Amino acid sequence: MADFIPALSYVCNMMDTVVVIMAGGKGTRLWPLSTESKPKQFLDLLNRGSTLLQDTVRRAQFITSSENIYVVAPAQYEEIIKEQVPFVNFIAEPMPRNTAPTIAYALAYLLAHNKAPSTVMVVLPADHYIDDPEKWAKVMDIAVDYAHQSRELGTIGIVPTYPATGYGYIHIAQPIKPEKGLYKVKTFTEKPPLELARKFVDSGEYFWNSGMFIWRLDALQEAFVIYASEIWDICSEITDFSNHSKIKKFFMACPSISVDYAIMEKASNVFVVKADFQWSDLGSFKAIYDLLPHDQNGNAIIGNVIPFNTQNCLLVNASQDGVLAVSDEQEKAIIKTSDAVLTVNINAGENIRKVYKAITEQFPEYA
């Protein structure tokens, strides 16, 4: 396991900030690297010597102390989480119900464990790539400070580089502190069609929604009461967080909905801070390809691979033995593990969901 060195915090009062890392995703678009037993957040996808979860925890250490970092994930991942980041807190998520119930459950847990209502919660997905943790920490410092003072709901906005249809978009309103990239939010639009996404990007008035959130505990609780009371009514009834079977019964009644739909699209007290760092949600093989170094033929290679007459491909041999030989291919992702081989157009990320579904139905032991 890589060494962890707590970094100097940019936030004035570390005790007033908690970080909740959501680590329950399955990463199905990265099969066969990402599997049910070990999804992408627990992998070293960029061949850097640390997993995405470990990188996320390292960033969190810039803005708070290790004892104020909480990882939320299904109980089946507790062992691997404790192997990779043994010094952080683990909250067992009863069952996958999307991000709104997960965040409400974490909120109930923190309040039940005597966190002050004025504490700022930073919510991070466990599977993002950030190129510069110090730049990230400075942006997060602006967001944490404003959330603490204003009791508004915050997010981090990414300047779009192309008209992506798989991301949410944030329409910015009047600036609050433009020199710090701090704006009020006018509207959220989740995953627009291509033509609308093009208009958003061309206007220069939209950010991508990064999926990182910042809010005081009392402000978040108030938002759940107003906009998603059916979720908060359930989660607020949980008092014994060790009774997993009882908690699961509670949790099953929660609607499966993202916090974007449940709260952020409805609320009027929302702000965004513009990111000045490189970001990727690493949700596809193309995203991994873009971040890796390329050879003279444009190939990104990990592991024992021999390419012939092959250009602009992602070639990954993740098996412990053997070699992957590839000839006469262009713009493909070719992935070899000890259990499976996948060949797919590098831009066809959504098709892998269909492949994964077929695998779960016909060969579930390899999913």
Parts of the chain with a pLDDT under 70: 1-15
pLDDT at 15: 59
**Contact call for residues 238 and 250 (beta carbons, < 8 A):** yes
pLDDT tens digit sequence for 121-155: 999 999 999 999 999 999 999 999 999 999 999 99
pLDDT at 175: 93
Domain borders along the chain are: 14-280, 294-366
d(CA 240, CA 245): 11
Any bridge partners for residue 274, and if so which?
Answer: 157
Domain 14-280 CATH superfamily = Spore Coat Polysaccharide Biosynthesis Protein SpsA; Chain A (3.90.550.10)
pLDDT at 14: 59
Q: Does the predicted model carry a pTM greater than 0.85?
A: yes
Instruction: List the Cα angle 260/273/14 in 5-degree steps.
Output: 95
